Amino acid sequence: MIVYNGFSDIKLNNTAVTIGKFDGLHLGHAALIKEVVSQKLFHRTAVAVNLLMDRKDGAIYSKAERRRLFEEAGCDILIEAELNDELKNIEAEDFVREYLIDRLGAHMVVTGFDFAFGAGRRGNTALLKKMGDEYGFTLRCIEKKEFMGKRISSTRIRECLSLGDMEMAKAMLGREYSLEGVVVTGNRLGRTLGMPTANLMWPDDKLVVCRGVYLAGIKINDENFYGIANVGIKPTIEGRKIYGCETNIFDFDRDIYSQNIRVNLLKHLRDEIRFSNLEELKAKMHKDKKTARMLLGK
């Protein structure tokens, strides 16, 4: 998959395009992407335009994680475009002509029925249909996906993640919520406590989820393991507080420093708390491990 930063120097032809704020890449977004990818049978290239918002609290997935998900979904080209004043204030007709037609060479555009764009959000599917008839591209609108009688949205998923409701988040994402990154060296306290951990830094551009201990699924290369993961700032430990994820992998004793792993947060077991001393922390960690193994039936 080719990734572009913005629309500069792009000149494509005969493409199927979807465009949106793909924060969570949830089931609703997946339906748009699936439709675009299916059109590769008839059009040369499947293009996804991810409009990036300036979110101080971060996106549901980091930029690197979203790239992997777009690629796994089968997109040929991903355009990451900041949703800046130029894109917000451009006249809708100009956006269609300059971006969709001249730069992206769209022969098919895939959106949701409530898609809106351009100055005053005046651009909509009716305008796209009209201009498609004029300029020779087809519009395909996809119904919104629902869960428990309500539309699936990134806002709903963010609320679930802030509360530690990983099961509900999974139902709307269509996958287990995860963190991926390179294992870094920590303070090695876990090994001292009899609970060695694989430590991941939390990306700056990723939403901070509910702090606490989770039942976790871990993917290392093509192998899958289970464990418990502590997400947070380690309040019992003195020193600089850095948000991260420390995972104790069950029945595992390999050196995986500097390797890329993925930690799926399956179930929130408890909140992160401050203990009076390390012995209390150690006892609770082993109790968490026992709870997790019971949930796994082990």
- pLDDT tens figures, 52-91: 987 888 899 999 999 999 999 999 999 999 999 999 999 9
CA distance 91 to 123: 8
Of 81, 115, 150, the residue at which a domain comes to its end is: 150
Rg (CA), the chain: 22
Q: Could you list the residue range(s) of the whole structural domain that residue 235 is in?
A: 176-296
CATH number of the domain encompassing residue 41: 3.40.50.620
Q: Are residues 186 and 146 in the same domain?
A: no
In a domain, 171, yes or no: no
Count: domains in the chain: 2
Q: Are residues 135 and 197 in the same domain?
A: no
Q: Are residues 22 and 139 in the same domain?
A: yes
> How confident is the model at residue 247, as a pLDDT?
96
How many residues in the chain? 298
> How confident is the model at residue 57, as a pLDDT?
86
> How confident is the model at residue 187, as a pLDDT?
65
In a domain, 159, yes or no: no
- Cβ atoms of 165 and 173 within 8 Å: the answer is no
CA distance 204 to 271: 22
- Cβ atoms of 231 and 265 within 8 Å: the answer is yes
Q: Phi/psi class of residue 9: alpha, beta or left (left: φ > 0; alpha: ψ in -120 to 50)?
A: left
The predicted-structure confidence for 178-228, as pLDDT tens digits, reads as follows 999 999 986 666 666 678 899 999 999 999 999 999 999 999 999 999 999
Q: Are residues 21 and 96 in the same domain?
A: yes
